[in-house]
Amino acid sequence: MVSATFDHFLDVVVDRMTPEEILAFQLSEAEQQRLDDLIERNNAGLLTAEEKAELQHFADIERTMSLLKVKADYQLRKK
Protein backbone atom coordinates (compact mmCIF):
# COMPACT_ATOMS: atom_id res chain seq x y z
CA MET A 1 0.00 0.00 0.00
CA VAL A 2 2.79 2.43 0.89
CA SER A 3 4.43 1.85 -2.49
CA ALA A 4 1.17 2.55 -4.33
CA THR A 5 0.60 5.69 -2.26
CA PHE A 6 4.11 6.93 -2.97
CA ASP A 7 3.68 6.21 -6.67
CA HIS A 8 0.41 8.15 -6.60
CA PHE A 9 2.21 11.08 -4.94
CA LEU A 10 4.83 11.05 -7.70
CA ASP A 11 2.13 11.01 -10.37
CA VAL A 12 0.39 14.02 -8.78
CA VAL A 13 3.62 16.00 -8.74
CA VAL A 14 4.32 15.10 -12.37
CA ASP A 15 0.79 16.19 -13.28
CA ARG A 16 1.17 19.56 -11.55
CA MET A 17 4.65 20.46 -12.74
CA THR A 18 5.78 20.33 -16.31
CA PRO A 19 8.23 17.56 -17.13
CA GLU A 20 10.73 20.28 -18.04
CA GLU A 21 10.37 21.89 -14.60
CA ILE A 22 10.93 18.56 -12.89
CA LEU A 23 13.96 17.72 -15.01
CA ALA A 24 15.46 21.16 -14.38
CA PHE A 25 15.07 20.98 -10.60
CA GLN A 26 18.30 21.38 -8.67
CA LEU A 27 19.22 22.21 -5.12
CA SER A 28 19.95 25.85 -4.49
CA GLU A 29 23.60 26.81 -4.23
CA ALA A 30 23.31 27.08 -0.44
CA GLU A 31 21.61 23.68 -0.20
CA GLN A 32 24.26 22.07 -2.37
CA GLN A 33 27.04 23.61 -0.28
CA ARG A 34 25.39 22.32 2.90
CA LEU A 35 25.03 18.85 1.38
CA ASP A 36 28.67 18.83 0.28
CA ASP A 37 29.74 19.86 3.79
CA LEU A 38 27.62 17.14 5.39
CA ILE A 39 29.03 14.50 3.04
CA GLU A 40 32.59 15.61 3.74
CA ARG A 41 32.02 15.64 7.50
CA ASN A 42 30.25 12.28 7.33
CA ASN A 43 33.19 10.74 5.49
CA ALA A 44 35.44 12.05 8.28
CA GLY A 45 33.10 10.61 10.93
CA LEU A 46 32.33 14.02 12.39
CA LEU A 47 28.53 14.29 12.10
CA THR A 48 26.25 14.82 15.07
CA ALA A 49 23.03 12.82 15.29
CA GLU A 50 21.13 15.89 14.08
CA GLU A 51 23.45 16.26 11.09
CA LYS A 52 23.08 12.56 10.24
CA ALA A 53 19.30 13.05 10.17
CA GLU A 54 19.76 16.09 7.92
CA LEU A 55 21.98 14.10 5.57
CA GLN A 56 19.37 11.33 5.49
CA HIS A 57 16.75 13.95 4.61
CA PHE A 58 18.87 15.07 1.64
CA ALA A 59 19.18 11.42 0.55
CA ASP A 60 15.40 10.97 0.74
CA ILE A 61 14.86 14.08 -1.38
CA GLU A 62 17.41 12.88 -3.94
CA ARG A 63 15.70 9.49 -4.25
CA THR A 64 12.31 11.15 -4.67
CA MET A 65 13.61 13.61 -7.26
CA SER A 66 15.29 10.80 -9.18
CA LEU A 67 11.99 8.94 -9.41
CA LEU A 68 10.16 12.12 -10.42
CA LYS A 69 12.72 12.79 -13.12
CA VAL A 70 12.29 9.27 -14.52
CA LYS A 71 8.52 9.79 -14.68
CA ALA A 72 8.96 13.25 -16.25
CA ASP A 73 11.35 11.88 -18.85
CA TYR A 74 8.83 9.13 -19.66
CA GLN A 75 6.09 11.76 -20.09
CA LEU A 76 8.27 13.71 -22.53
CA ARG A 77 9.11 10.60 -24.54
CA LYS A 78 5.41 9.69 -24.85
CA LYS A 79 4.67 12.96 -26.68
From first to last of its 79 residues, what are the pLDDT tens digits of the chain?
657 888 888 888 888 999 999 999 999 999 999 999 999 999 999 999 999 999 999 999 999 999 999 999 998 999 7
Please give the tally of structural domains in the chain.
Answer: 1
Q: Are 45 and 37 in contact (CB under 8 A)?
A: no
pLDDT reported for residue 35: 96
Instruction: Kindly report the pTM of this predicted structure.
Output: 0.82
Q: Name the residue range of residue 28's domain.
A: 2-78
Q: Are 19 and 72 in contact (CB under 8 A)?
A: yes
pLDDT reported for residue 2: 59
What is the greatest pairwise CA distance in the chain? 48
- Side-chain-side CA neighbours of 18 within 13 Å: the count stands at 4
pLDDT reported for residue 40: 98
